[in-house]
Structure 1
Amino acid sequence: MKSILLHVDGDRCMEARLQVALDLARASGGHITCLQAVSYEVFAPGDFYGSAMAAAMPRIKEAAEELRREIETDLANEDVAWEWRFLYGMAEQRLLEQSALHDIIIVGPHDVGEEGSRGPSSMVGQLAIHAPVPVLVVPGDTKKFEVTAPVLIGWNGSPEAATALRMALPILAKSSQVYIACVAEKNEKSFYDFPPTEAAIYLSRHGIEAEVISIPKGDAKIADTLFSAAQMRDCGMIVMGAYGHSRLAEMLLGGVTRRMLSEPQTPILLGR
């Protein structure tokens, strides 16, 4: 992951994802592009002539400049290559545009103003569905990102899971242990487009040995089961496809993905 695209904004997870970006850049000899986007789309009820937007923009710009100064001061003391890009527009759109020449996008689980919401970030959903590169979602309590830590791959045999695995190869190659985890449903004969053994064979061709583990679902949600399995094995990241069983509408993430992104307990790398 040589070219890292970092979403910059003033949410509570900014420090965590900055640290993850730095750790990943050091491990790969990579470069961080800090992308800060400010939107003109500030609305207020009855503001037909844009007066509220005009009044709000100076303060929004001032806050953006203050955040930039803080982060650039921190980056000046780090031993990684970086640059700053300031763009006007919606963050998800600018991140999608810039992702074409990057290897990974790093974001938080919730955008500004979304903290405390029960569902996953709409921005994360857009990026996970449309970005041509993997999206790494970093919880706010993440202190560091050990690239050599074990990694758990949430495997349901779908094309999305296979794509996520393939996108994660540069990080998986540095991991000390890779687990391909399948959660077995009760009284259900599992059907896989791609069995976990094929995923293990694919990784072996890239010099990565993986252990396939089957986990009984029990009464817990699949998302909670995967988080528990990752924590038991000291995993530093979970890799998974951006869809679950539901593919009815591209704006809605599948059930398992949606639940995991609502309250992530470890960094999650998404691909599709």
Structure 2
Amino acid sequence: MELGTILVHLDHSERCLARVGLAVRLARARGWHVVGLIPTGLRDGAIAPDAHPMRSPEFIGASADYLRLRADATAHLFKQIVRDSGQVSHEARLVDGGSADALIDHGHASDLIVVGQVDQARSDHDKTADATPRDLPGQAMLHSGRPVLVVPCAGHFEEVGRKVMVAWDGTREAAMALRDSLPLLDPAARVMLISMRNERDAPDPRRLCVPETLAWLRRHGIDAQAEERVTALCITETLRVCAAHFGADLVVMGGFGHTRFREAMLGGTTREMLARAKLPVLISH
């Protein structure tokens, strides 16, 4: 299975360059097309008057012009980065609206979505029109129908797909994530399936189908192994320890959650991994 289009979310944060760089390197190595998506923060091309009820029409108009100019500058920077990186098919796409809706809508016409992990240290008072929603990765995962690659808010990631750790629990979501990861794997990739259970729980090898899954990966030409961890730690902490021990450059996992009034209500492990992962995470729902 081959990908064709990577959609990378662009904002005005310092970490935007890190995820653009990773998306471009993935595209260049595999011959894919990169779309840089720049939500303006505007609604239907303008700031609604009731968004600033105490402000004058002149202030609102100037704010809208500012948001457009800033989006144009971001698009220019994106195109410059891609051109400097070599021959990569690309486009910058400016869209009105907020980040979540734009990413979901345009994600439907892509094969992989790349977003940044939201810095948990960011102030809760950061309510500016362009502030990336804290639940943007979760929203994209739940609503886009596409795999989402979440790039951490700190660290440098030159490449992904050489040493891959898969959080394997035999569920539909884990199977989808593993399948979705195949186009990202290096031809010489090493893959480790990690299954975990609490020390109080009995093993259930029939449900996990680990030998069958390893055989399936090997038929794809992938060097794959598996380990079971019996632990008293929480799953998120165990995943982090296992990834560090394996030297992984990518974690692959299924995502769990549902929505309530458009808010992403994520499962505990999914929420913790999206918020605190130190490595890029590919997640599918």
Instruction: Find 1:201's aligned residue among 203, 215, 220.
Output: 215
For residue 30 of structure 1, report the CA deviation from its aligned partner: 1.4
Contact 2:75 / 2:94 at 8 angstroms: preserved in 1?
no
Residue 93 of structure 1 pairs with residue 116 of structure 2: no
Structure 2 partner of 1:110: 118
In 2, distance between residues paired with 1:90 and 1:252? 19
Q: Structure 2 CA distance, aligned partners of 1:252 and 1:88?
A: 26
Say which SS state the counterpart of residue 251 (structure 2) adopts. Answer: strand
SS at match of 1:252: strand
Q: Distance in 1 between matches of 2:275 and 2:136?
A: 13
CA RMSD in angstroms comes to 2.8
1:126 match: 139
Task: Report what 1:242 is aligned to.
Answer: 255
Could you tell me which residue of structure 1 aligns to residue 84 of structure 2? 77
Offset of residue 6 of structure 1: 0.9
Match of 2:63 in 1: 56
Return the offset for 1:269.
0.3
Among 171, 192, 199, which residue is 1:158 paired with?
A: 171
1:55 Cα shift?
A: 4.6
Distance 1:169 1:180 in 2: 14
Say if 2:42 is the partner of 1:34: no
Q: Which amino acid aligns with 1:195?
A: C
How do 1:142-221 and structure 2 match up within 5 A?
142-172=155-185, 174-191=187-204, 193-218=207-232, 220-221=233-234
Post-superposition Cα deviations, 1:161-215, rounded to whole Å, max 9, x if no partner, equal 1111111111236352000111221211245754333332332332323111112
Mapped pair 1:233 → 2:260: no
Q: How far 1:85 sits from its partner (Å)?
A: 0.9
Q: Which runs of 5+ in 1 are unaligned?
A: none
Equivalent position amino acid for 1:47 in 2: P
| Partner in structure 2 of residue 47 of structure 1 | 53
Q: String of CA shifts for 1:23-77, please: whole Å, max 9, x gaps.
A: 1012211111111111225688872888565453222222222222333222221
Gaps of 5+ in 2: 125-132
Q: What's the counterpart of residue 22 of structure 1? A: 24
Out of 127, 136, 151, the residue aligned to residue 149 of structure 2 is 136
> Counterpart of 1:251 in structure 2: which amino acid?
A
Which of 3, 23, 29 is the equivalent residue of 2:5? 3
Deviation at 1:156, TM superposition (A): 1.8
Q: Which residue of 2 aligns with 1:252?
A: 265
| Structure 1 stretch displaced more, 45-54 or 183-192 | 45-54
Change (3 A) 1:50 1:149: farther
Output the amino acid matched with 1:209.
Answer: D
SS at match of 1:137: strand
| Number of positions where the alignment pairs a residue of Structure 1 with one of Structure 2 | 266
Aligned 8 A contact 1:148 1:175 in 2: no
Quote the Cα distance in structure 2 between the aligned partners of 1:28 and 1:222: 33
More displaced stretch, 80-89 vs 45-54? 45-54
TM-score w.r.t. length of structure 2:
0.82
Separation in 1 of the partners of 2:250 and 2:194? 13
Kept after mapping to 1: 8 A contact 2:197/2:230: yes
SS at match of 2:14: coil
TM-score normalised according to structure 1 size: 0.86
2:9–2:37 Cα contact (<8 Å) kept:
yes
Q: CA deviation at 1:91?
A: 2.0
CA-CA distance at 1:229 after TM superposition: 0.9
